[in-house]
Structure 1
Amino acid sequence: MKRIVWYIQCELPAVLRYCKSCGTKREYRCSGQFRVNAQRKHLDIWLIYRCLHCDATWNLPICSRIRSVGIDADLLERYHNNDRKLAAQHALNMGLLRQNGAIPCVPAFTVAGENLPTGGPVELHLICDYPLPVKVSAVLRQKLNLSCRMLNQLIDSGSIKGAPGIHVLEQKLPGHITLTVQNDATDL
């Protein structure tokens, strides 16, 4: 069985939240930068967002009033250096965003990798650096240029299958997932 890997890359998702300057709900973009504030023995860490309309800032709380000795020195250094992967990890944490009054938008994504060959089954690996709030079916539709109806037919016929217990149409991208694509689905 041939093995193919598709890499999914995404932009940091925007969030909707009330903008005090605009007086209405607006879209905010993640700046990828952290603000670290130290007062005596305690630290506060925020991820900075900016309103796309008026450039007002919103600070997403990451850590609040933690003891400075309670955080790993390497992790703290990553916050100070605005580590891009760490910013993405927090910006893609949908629970954290919702908990802080933001409505996450679905991130734009691209899929890179070779096309499915014709003839023979394929073990397809979808890989992303972070769990994404994007359905596996959306990735398949984009890369294979399929309609929802056509993808549903391929899944219903068993031409595209996930591991047992994985419902391909409903599953969100957990970071890595493996699918099996049968030869009749490779003639797309």
Structure 2
Amino acid sequence: MEFAEAMNDIRSTRMPADGGGPDIDRKALWVVRELGLPAIVKSCVSCRSTRHHPTGKFRVNANGKLLDVWMLICCELCGRTSKIPVHERIHVQSLESERRLMFENNSPAMVRHLAMDGALAGKAAYRQDWSGTWELKTDMPFYDLEGEDPPPLEVVVRFELPAPIRVEKLLTAGFGLSRSAMRGMVDSGRIRLPLAIDAKAREDFTLFVVTTPGRHYA
């Protein structure tokens, strides 16, 4: 969904005053937009680099009725190609035909999916580096959060990619304030969060700026 379309969708709904939450008229949309895929952090056998990127290709080998599937990655420094095991010795009938074709056709969607797959990273013993993979886009008009009595505000945060981002970093980027100011407003109850400010978010969530600290919502 495009940003403008998503914002119109956000504005078309309004939290009811009797719904257990703050009565909010102002809404804002923050979108964590995708700039690229995370780097694959593992030692290169040819040089000192530890950063790799997907080549956009897979290798599929068949041995009778068994298949091996690897995602090919390239060293950022020396260009050496190496392999990340995706499936090992899997029976051909156990692999959905659509998924097998995506490997055989070097599907960009499958490359993207696997490059962002934390389970695959854990299984293959490498780390993902998400730096430089995202930017925060907002539709925020002027909003004096540090004013004496700012109007109530609902902020919907949406993720185009599952980059793990510290909530505090999102708040400082979205509101343009210092870490100490943001923490003070969270501690005072002016900003209501569904998760801890030190937590790393990677999925959509909603936060509230309330006029009167101390009023709780479900």
Contact 1:44–1:66 (8 Å) recurs in 2: yes
2:100 maps to what in 1? 76
Q: What is the CA–CA distance in structure 2 between the aligned matches of 1:174 and 1:142, rounded to whole Å?
A: 16
2:5 maps to what in 1? none
1:12 maps to what in 2? 37
Q: What is the CA–CA distance in structure 1 between the aligned matches of 2:107 and 2:154, rounded to whole Å?
A: 33
2:158 maps to what in 1? 127
- Identify if the C-alpha distance between structure 1 residues 78 and 5 changes in structure 2 by more than 3 Å, giving closer, same or farther: farther
Q: Which has the larger radius of gyration?
A: 2
Aligned ranges for residues 79-94 of structure 1 at < 5 Å? 79-94=103-118
Number of aligned positions between the proteins: 180
- Identify if the C-alpha distance between structure 1 residues 176 and 32 changes in structure 2 by more than 3 Å, giving closer, same or farther: farther
Q: Alpha-carbon deviation of 1:183?
A: 5.2
Q: Does 1:64 align with 2:88?
A: yes
- Identify if the C-alpha distance between structure 1 residues 27 and 131 changes in structure 2 by more than 3 Å, giving closer, same or farther: same
Question: Structure 1 length as normaliser, TM-score?
Answer: 0.81
Q: SS at the partner of 2:106? A: coil
Q: Alpha-carbon deviation of 1:116?
A: 5.2
Letter in structure 2 aligned against 1:43: L
Question: Structure 2 length as normaliser, TM-score?
Answer: 0.71
Q: Does 1:157 align with 2:175?
A: no
Q: What is the CA–CA distance in structure 1 between the aligned matches of 2:78 and 2:205, rounded to whole Å?
A: 39
Q: What is the CA–CA distance in structure 2 between the aligned matches of 1:103 and 1:128, rounded to whole Å?
A: 20
Letter in structure 2 aligned against 1:180: F
2:135 maps to what in 1? 110
- Identify if the C-alpha distance between structure 1 residues 83 and 124 changes in structure 2 by more than 3 Å, giving closer, same or farther: farther
Gaps of 5+ in 1: none
1:140 maps to what in 2? 171
Give RMSD over aligned pairs: 2.4
Match of 2:58 among 23, 34, 40: 34
- Identify if the C-alpha distance between structure 1 residues 180 and 67 changes in structure 2 by more than 3 Å, giving closer, same or farther: same
- Identify if the C-alpha distance between structure 1 residues 94 and 115 changes in structure 2 by more than 3 Å, giving closer, same or farther: same
Q: Does 1:168 align with 2:197?
A: yes
1:41-91 Cα deviation digits (max 9, x unpaired): 222222222111110112111111111211222222333333334323322
Gaps of 5+ in 2: 1-23, 144-149, 213-218
